[in-house]
Each structure stands twice: as structure tokens, then as C-alpha cells.
Amino acid sequence: MPYKSVSRSIPFLRTQYVTGTVICYAIIGMTFVYSTLRYGLDLWHVVGGVLVAVLMGLQIFQSLRLVETLKRIEYALKMSSRGELHHRISSTKGLGELGQVAWALNDLLDRVESYFKEVDTCFRLVAKGNFDRHPLGAGLPGRMGDSLEAIDSSVMAMRDNVKLINRNELASSLHRLNTENLIRNLKQTQDDLIRIDEDAREFGTQARSNAEAAQKNLRDVETIRTAIDDITGTVQEVADVVGILSRDSDQIVGSLLTIKEIADQTGLLALNASIEAARAGETGKGFAVVADEVKALSRRTKVTAESVDQIMASFSQRVENVSQIAEHSNEVTQGMSAMVEDFESQFNSLAESSEKSVQQVDIASAVIYNSLVKLDHVIYKQNGYVALDGGCDEHQDKCAAIAVDHTQCRMGRWYYEGMGREQFGHMSAYRQLEQPHAAVHACVQEALRLSEQDWEGSQQLREQIVAQMKLAESASEEVMLRINQLTEERTLEGKDQPSLPRRVA
């Protein structure tokens, strides 16, 4: 280090001491030479001169030490001004007042250096997110100690602030995640409800048309009954006509017998007439009798013939009647057959529509139940979010709900013991549902476990919590997808199923 020994043309202490001492030595030397020449060599002069020279030597030695120590003090102060606080002044024994100055400076530097080390260390760790390194104020009096206390309370305020920010950060990440997914979940539930509503409407329409068809069927049955009554009456009439015809034909048989007798008698008469004719002579009397008999015969024949004629006319009328009745019967029968055919087809469509209604009710109930299962699942996640927000002390019931195993929650019981296994066990989506469902439980439980640690102070923990909830959400999305697939498959199965026998063959 270059040593400038002059300031504003006044020499520094070292130059002053050295120059002064040289001058003093010169004066003592010259005085010694002069007095020896003038008064001769004197023992007192020699001893006194040497003593003064030695004392002055000691003084210059101390003076130089003083100057050297001052230089060290200057250096330490200069370096401290530059920010290097680790310089100290040692080896000042025997320097009295200057030694005290040096020690006072050392004490000051000790305290200042300690102060800055405390502040530096504390803030360096604060920058890394560690708020536990409190600055230690002991041994630092006055302003320095107060300042460290103030810093300590500021750091505590920063810590609280950071905790608050971190808490908000976690809460807002979770809230964002939850909102996005909750809306999706609700949308799904809404879709389910819309579907159920549509199904219910269709089901209502079907039921109404079924009722109308049933009414119509009832009316048709009434008509058929009337037609049957009609046919019964017609058949009775035909039987009556046939009875009359039978009697008429008996009369005809009787008439024909009479005609036969007439023919026989006419034959006999003809024979008698021929005999009488042979006896000629006696002509007048006998022949007149025969002629009377033939006359009477012919009258009877005429009457009989008229009677047959009448019977035949009546007979023809009866036949006409029978033919008409038979025709009517035929018409009634044909009408009935059409009616029965119609009735049958109506009955079939009624049966078909009833069957469809039953299927729709089945599907609707599957959709409703699946929707309930999904809702339960959504509530499970919501419990997770609520518990993460306030902690288990505040939400013991939520934490208890989350602790439930994936085989013991509503979905789990539905899956392993209840309707789920019964109705959907054979489907591939059913098997694919198990793993994501278990993952949702595991992830939410893990997030809750992490939240019991000091996440307010650890970015990493907060990120892990959000990551676990994200995993839970994506697993949950798969759960929803699989349940939807189950519903779809169930619907398709319902449509493909062979329906009830339609033809009452």
C-alpha cells in the first residue's frame, strides 16, 4: 500500500517524529562534541548523553508503534467503510490510550459485524422461504438490538403474510380445479336428468296412447258382443224357417198322396168305363154315373193342384227368407272377422307398447340410479375440497367421510355388493370402473394426509396437494365415463332384447 507521508505540505506524524528525533540526536551529538572540546571528557556528560540517547530511542520505538497502530486502525476503518467488517486491531499491549481506542473499535466492529451477520443470515434464509432463523439480538445494545427486534417482528409478519398468500394460493388452485370439474359433473347430472325427463315424457305419451287403445278395444269388444247376439238371433230365425219348411214339405207329401189316389181312382174309372162301353146296349144309365164320378174326380184334382200351387208359392217365399237370413249371417260373420283381426292387431301394438314402456322404465331407473351413484362420488370429492380448505379440526365429519375405503362408500357398495354387480357385472366398463374409483379415494386421502404437514411453508407440498387432487379429478372423470358407458350399454341391451311373444297364434 503506497504510503503518502505529506498532507497539504505538512509532514505526517512519522516524518515529524523521525525528523524531530534526528534533529534531537544531532543536537545531543553536537552538544557532546562541543562540551568535550571546551571542558574536556567528563564522565557525567558521557553517562547523561547515553541515557538521553537510549530514552529517546525507546520513545521513537513507541512512537513508531503508535504510528503503525494508527495505520492499522485507519486500514481497518477504511476496509469497514468498504464493507469488510472482519478486520480487527490486535497486539496493542503497552499502547495505553491508543490500545483502548483499538479495543473500543474492535468491540464496535464485533457488534456491527454480528449485527450484519444476523441480518444477512436471517434474510438469506427468508429469501429461501425459511422464516425460522430469528435474528439474535442478545449482546447487541441500543439501536442495534432494537433494530434486530424490529426485523424479527417484520420477518414474522412476512411469514404470516407468506402463509396467507400460500394458503390463498392453494385454496384458489383447489377452487379453480373444483369449479371446472364441478361444473362438468353438474352438467353430466343435468344431462342425466334431461334424459330421464325425455324418457318420462315418451313414457307418458306411450301410456296415454295405451290407455286410448285400451278404450277402443273395450268399445270393439262391445260391438263384437252385439254382433254375436245378432248371429244368435239369426240362427234362431233360420231354425224356425227350416221347421216351417219341414211342415210344408209334409203337406206336399200328403197332397201328392191324394193326387196318387186320384190317379188310381181315375184309372179304375177308366177301366169301368171301358167295361160299360163293351156292354153298349144298356148305354144310357151307367155311363151317366161314370160321367158324374169323373166330373167329381176332376174337381178334386183341380183343388189339389191349386193347393200344391199355393204350397209351392209359400215354400218359395220361405226359401227366399232363409237365403236372406243366411246372407245376413254371412255379413255379420265377415264383419266380426275383420273386427277380430283389428282387435288382434290393436292388442299386439298395445302389448308392444307396454313392453317398450317397461323397458323405458328400466332404462330410466338405471339412469337415475347411476346418476345417484355419480352424485355420491361428486360429493366425496366436494368433501375433499372442503376438508382441504379448513383442515380436519374444522371439518371432522368431512374427514371421516373421506377416510372411507372405496369398497365401503355408496358407489363401492353398489359396485361390490348391490345392483351394480348384479346388473352390470358382465360389462367391460364395469371392470374398468374399479381402478379409477380406487384411485379417486387414494388421491383424495393422500392430498388430505399431505395437508396435515406444513404446506403453508412449502411450495412443494402445495404443488403435491394440487397434483393429487388433479389426479383424483382425472380418475373421477374416468369413473363418470365408465358409468355413462354402463348406462349406454344397458340401454342398448334393453333395445336388443327379444320382446314378448306378440302373435297369439
- Where do contacts with other proteins occur on this chain (CB under 8 A)? 82-84, 86, 88, 90-91, 93, 103, 106-107, 110-111, 113-114, 117, 121, 132-134, 136, 138-141
Q: Closest distance between other proteins and the C-beta of residue 79, in Å?
A: 9
The alpha carbon of 208 is separated from its chain's Cα centroid by a whole number of angstroms, namely 35
- Which residue type is seen at 443? C
Nearer to other proteins, 124 or 176 (CB): 124
C-alpha–C-alpha distance, residues 383 and 390, integer Å: 11
Q: Are 476 and 436 in contact (CB under 8 A)?
A: yes
C-alpha–C-alpha distance, residues 273 and 275, integer Å: 5
- Half-sphere exposure at residue 381, Cβ-oriented, CA atoms within 13 angstroms: 33
Nearer to other proteins, 84 or 250 (CB): 84
- Half-sphere exposure at residue 233, Cβ-oriented, CA atoms within 13 angstroms: 8
Nearer to other proteins, 141 or 204 (CB): 141
Q: Are 411 and 373 in contact (CB under 8 A)?
A: yes
Give me the DSSP letters along 305-332: HHHHHHHHHHHHHHHHHHHHHHHHHHHH
Nearer to other proteins, 132 or 250 (CB): 132
C-alpha–C-alpha distance, residues 284 and 451, integer Å: 159
Q: Closest distance between other proteins and the C-beta of residue 134, in Å?
A: 7
Nearer to other proteins, 78 or 187 (CB): 78
Q: Closest distance between other proteins and the C-beta of residue 373, in Å?
A: 42
Give me the DSSP letters along 92-155: -TT-HHHHHHHHHHHHHHHHHHHHHHHHHHHHHHHHTT----PPP-TT--HHHHHHHHHHHHHH
Give me the DSSP letters along 242-269: HHHHHHHHHHHHHHHHHHHHHHHHHHHH
Q: If DSSP codes are grouped into helix, strand and coil, which group holds residue 163?
A: helix
Q: Closest distance between other proteins and the C-beta of residue 141, in Å?
A: 6
Grid cell in block for residue 446: 393422500
Nearer to other proteins, 133 or 167 (CB): 133
**Orientation angle between helical segments 459-496 and 283-390, nearest 10 degrees:** 170
Q: Closest distance between other proteins and the C-beta of residue 51, in Å?
A: 30
Q: Closest distance between other proteins and the C-beta of residue 135, in Å?
A: 11
CA-based R_g, the chain, Å: 69
Q: Closest distance between other proteins and the C-beta of residue 452, in Å?
A: 13
Q: Are 131 and 156 in contact (CB under 8 A)?
A: yes
Nearer to other proteins, 114 or 234 (CB): 114
Q: In the chain, what is the greatest distance between 2 CA atoms, to the nearest angstrom?
A: 267
Nearer to other proteins, 112 or 297 (CB): 112
Q: Closest distance between other proteins and the C-beta of residue 110, in Å?
A: 4
Q: Closest distance between other proteins and the C-beta of residue 476, in Å?
A: 35
Nearer to other proteins, 94 or 284 (CB): 94
Q: Closest distance between other proteins and the C-beta of residue 76, in Å?
A: 11
